[in-house]
């Protein structure tokens, strides 16, 4: 079992550093290893998922320890008051900063891509440094769409 390091904990929340390849929650019909199950086993109590990270992303996940805290934190994300920043490596050379404002749609295949009939999706980015044939970006998602960063930068 992969153990996710705790970066902060108090009586209302627990924040952990999710590694790449470990899902936040199991997929449909799966009874597999997932961060939420690991934390529940560790704490020996039910926790509440506030937000998720993609399977191939690593980073800080926050879980609520009670329903009231879950409601308050979920509202912060829904109202876009929670700031979500990522470090992203993209192929190619980029410079400066910018904003991608393209609606995204999930197709029946599960693929997410820009589409005029999609949901609003806004991603801001700024170059941190060059990485040879790639660029390291600091990315902020102003909306929380599934695979938003991947879909915006592949378009």
Q: Has domain 6-78 been given CATH number 3.30.2350.10?
A: yes
**Known catalytic residue at 54:** yes
Residue 143, both tokens: 């909306």
Calculate the alpha carbon distances from 102 to 48, 87, 121, 122 in Å. 31, 20, 6, 7
Q: pLDDT 10s per residue in the chain (155 long)?
A: 677 999 999 999 999 999 998 999 987 766 668 999 999 999 999 999 999 998 888 999 999 999 999 999 999 988 889 988 999 999 999 999 999 999 999 999 989 999 999 999 999 999 999 999 999 999 999 998 989 999 999 98
CA separation (Å) from 145 to 123, 126, 133, 150? Answer: 10, 20, 28, 10
Tokens 């934190």 -> residue: 73
User: What is the distance of C-alpha 64 from the center of its chain?
Assistant: 16
Residues of the chain with CATH 3.30.2350.10: 6-78
Catalytic residue among 54, 66, 68, 117: 54
Tallying the residues shown for the chain, one arrives at 155
pTM here? 0.82
In the numeric block, the tokens 């191939």 are attached to 56
Cβ(112)–Cβ(145) below 8 Å: yes
């Amino acid at each position: 079992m992969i153990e996710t390091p705790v970066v902060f904990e108090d009586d209302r929340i627990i924040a952990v550093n999710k590694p790449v390849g470990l899902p936040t929650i199991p997929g449909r019909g799966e009874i597999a290893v997932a961060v939420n199950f690991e934390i529940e086993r560790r704490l020996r109590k039910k926790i509440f998922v506030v937000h998720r990270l993609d399977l191939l992303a690593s980073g800080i996940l926050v879980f609520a320890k009670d329903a009231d805290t879950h409601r308050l934190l979920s509202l912060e994300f829904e109202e876009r008051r929670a700031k979500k920043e990522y470090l992203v490596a993209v192929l190619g050379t980029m410079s400066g900063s910018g904003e991608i404002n393209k609606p995204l749609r999930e197709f029946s295949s599960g693929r997410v891509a820009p589409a005029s009939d999609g949901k609003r999706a806004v991603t801001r980015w700024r170059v941190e440094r060059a990485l040879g044939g790639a660029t390291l970006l600091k990315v902020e998602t102003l909306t929380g769409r599934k695979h938003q960063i991947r879909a915006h930068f592949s378009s």
